[in-house]
């Protein structure tokens, strides 16, 4: 099992008030799976993704990634895991504005200590995979929204992670561009990547093998989809 969470809780304390963002989620994801997480705004999707992506630690509960317990690690240990196991795609792209596409894609490889020749080779490969090999030296402000998200996807791919996590990857894109990105996700999945995509659009979620619906920090229901080609 690639991902296994046991009764995960995340409680934020805002002043005297406590916000129960994630309330006892137990979840398993297999290697090579394509999972969508759906739910209304404020239901705790992003919070869950941060926990799965090792950006944050749960208040309670256990999280095993590749069999390793990662729910109680320090900042730097989590960073080390992120640099090896996780690739993120954000709604707002989150590219470094002053860096070229190639450099943005190289970033995870810089931090996991990949030697520079191999780093450049792998970054170029990742850009090729998202059909952007001709935009390597462009900066984010010289790219369209869809292209930016493809650079972000290439960045998520470059360190060959165990999971690619995407939080509303099409949220800032028009429908046509969004479906282009989703087709790209499909292609990555067919190449064996494990994907978790957060969305509130059914149109986006239907590319997945399985959809988990979340409400008020709890799993409301789960549905398994059968591919129609």
Ligand X SMILES: Nc1ncnc2c1ncn2[C@@H]1O[C@H](COP(=O)(O)OP(=O)(O)OP(=O)(O)O)[C@@H](O)[C@H]1O
Q: Within 34-140, where are the H helices?
A: 45-52, 75-85, 101-111, 116-129
Q: Which of 5, 34, 35, 44 binds ligand X (CB under 6 A)?
A: 44
> Under the criterion CB under 8 A, does residue 107 sit at the interface with other proteins?
yes
**Residue 21 or 129 having the CB closest to ligand X:** 21
Residue 43 interacting partner from other proteins, ligand X, Mg ion, none (CB closer than 5 to 8 Å by kind): ligand X
**Residue 11 or 99 having the CB closest to ligand X:** 11
> Under the criterion CB under 5 A, does residue 47 sit at the interface with Mg ion?
no
**Residue 47 or 158 having the CB closest to ligand X:** 47
Q: Which of 5, 35, 38, 45 binds ligand X (CB under 6 A)?
A: 45
Q: Which of 56, 125, 133, 209 binds other proteins (CB under 8 A)?
A: 56
CB atoms within 10 A of CB 59: 17
- Distance separating alpha carbons of residues 73 and 54, to the nearest angstrom: 9
Q: Would you give the end-to-end CA distance of the chain in angstroms?
A: 26
DSSP letter for each residue of 109-175: HHHTT--HHHHHHHHHHHHHHTT-GGGTT--GGGS-HHHHHHHHHHHHHHT--SEEEEESTTTTS-H
> Under the criterion CB under 5 A, does residue 50 sit at the interface with Mg ion?
no
DSSP label of 30: -
Q: Do residues 163 and 87 touch, judged by C-beta distance below 8 A?
A: yes
Q: Which of 46, 114, 170, 199 binds Mg ion (CB under 5 A)?
A: 46
Give contact residues for Mg ion (rule: CB under 5 A).
46
Per CB under 6 A, residues contacting ligand X are 12, 14, 19, 21, 39, 41-47
């Amino acid at each position: 099992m690639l991902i296994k969470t046991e009764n995960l809780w995340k409680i934020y304390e805002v002043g005297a008030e406590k916000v129960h963002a994630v309330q006892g989620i137990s979840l398993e994801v297999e290697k090579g799976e394509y999972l969508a997480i759906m739910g209304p705004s404020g239901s705790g999707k992003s919070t869950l993704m941060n926990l799965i992506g090792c950006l944050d630690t749960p208040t309670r509960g256990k999280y095993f990634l590749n069999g390793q317990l990662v729910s109680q690690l320090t900042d730097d240990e989590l960073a080390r895991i992120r640099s090896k196991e996780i690739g993120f795609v954000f709604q707002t792209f989150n590219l470094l504005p002053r860096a070229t596409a190639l450099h943005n894609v190289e970033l995870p490889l810089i931090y996991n200590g990949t030697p520079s020749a191999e780093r450049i080779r792998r970054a170029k490969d990742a850009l090729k995979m998202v059909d952007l090999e001709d935009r390597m030296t462009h900066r984010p402000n010289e790219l369209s929204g869809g292209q930016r998200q493809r650079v972000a996807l290439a960045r998520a791919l470059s360190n060959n992670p165990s999971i690619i996590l995407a939080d509303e990857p099409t949220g800032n894109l028009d429908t046509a561009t969004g479906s282009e990105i989703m087709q790209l996700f499909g292609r990555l999945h067919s190449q064996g990547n494990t994907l978790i995509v957060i969305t509130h659009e059914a149109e986006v979620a239907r590319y997945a093998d399985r959809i988990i619906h979340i409400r008020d920090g709890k799993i409301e229901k789960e549905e398994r989809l059968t591919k129609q080609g």
